[in-house]
Amino acid sequence: MDRLRAFEVFVTVVAKGSFTRAAHALDTSPANVTRYVNELESHLGTRLLNRSSRKLSLTQGGEALYERGRSILDEVAEAEALASSASLQPRGRLRINAPVSFGILHLAPLWPRFMARYPDVELDVALNDRVVDIIDEGYDLAIRVSRAGATTHVARKLATSRNLVCASPAYLRRHGRPKVPADLGDHACLGYSYSATADEWHLVDDTGASSSVKVRCVMHTNNGDTLRAATLAGTGISWQPTFLVAEDLRQGRLVRVLPHHHLPDIDVLALYPSRRHVSAKVRVMVDFLVEAFTGIPPWERPGSVNG
């Protein structure tokens, strides 16, 4: 019996919750999966899985083997990945997902430099603002702008962006300037559809004290550029990431509202499914992006974003 393969099969069965789904993930037959699990149980002299028509559950021995087996497989895969990435030239198609606004403003200018450095890598970049399932949708890498971070994927932090409340000078001339967070409730606000807090804005002041205010949104959109355009047009007050509106603030097209308050910062992350079998093309892209965003990001360089 190939014990390493048996560990891989067993761990996959537990992770997928099904012999059939494990077989699909491993590109083998359910009969082969069953055979490996049976042989592993026979070799160890103990039952690892309780099987029923509806679900699988781990025995005490199965739980111990699952945790240790997963660690062993991760260590083996990491060693293989390090060896292969050191010896293989990055090549092939690299599928990347990124948010629309960030992708256009801050990633698009980088792609020519990457392609000049790695001519054998073919970039396939998809931009959308929803959170994609990297594995199910077949992406090698995703750039995500999020406060939540990542728990199921490997994440490399690229940069941080602040979230500021802002409005156009024309809007503030017509409707006045909020003095405290509660004043936002008397104004027309613009909402981002994918915000986890919806129309309740959570603000933090310069001392770190937090407050929440329920706002009245006259418009919602799932796209940052649309939200920015409506804010520039004087439709209402919105919160905006500095990676999108820093230049508008510097040029005075937008004005920061409640300058001593902001929403929690967000991280720009490069995500890939796991440390297992990381290809050379993914590894060099992540390293390239980390290098590109090292230091002060362009949207936080000196200017009037605090005003």
* Residue 13, helix vs strand vs coil: helix
- Summarize the confidence of residues 236-257 as an average pLDDT: 95
Q: What is the pTM of this model?
A: 0.67
Domain shared by 106 and 179, yes or no: yes
Domain count, the chain: 2
**Mean pLDDT of the chain, nearest integer:** 87
Domain shared by 80 and 99, yes or no: no
CA–CA separation, 256 vs 239, rounded Å? 9
Half-sphere exposure for 18 (CA within 13 Å, toward CB): 8
90: DSSP letter: P
Domain shared by 70 and 107, yes or no: no
Q: What is the per-residue pLDDT across 129-179, written as a single tens digit (0 to 9) for each?
A: 888 888 778 888 999 988 654 445 678 899 999 999 999 999 999 999 999
CA–CA separation, 301 vs 246, rounded Å? 9
Q: What is the per-residue pLDDT across 54-103, written as a single tens digit (0 to 9) for each?
A: 778 888 888 888 888 887 877 776 666 666 555 567 888 899 999 999 99
257: DSSP letter: S
CA–CA separation, 24 vs 33, rounded Å? 10
Q: Is residue 307 part of a domain?
A: no
The residue type found at 163 is N
Q: Which residues contact 230 (CB under 8 A, 6 or more apart)?
A: 190, 219, 221, 236, 238
Q: Which of 120, 56, 111, 128 is nearest to 89 (CA)?
A: 120
Structural domain boundaries, residue 162: 92-300
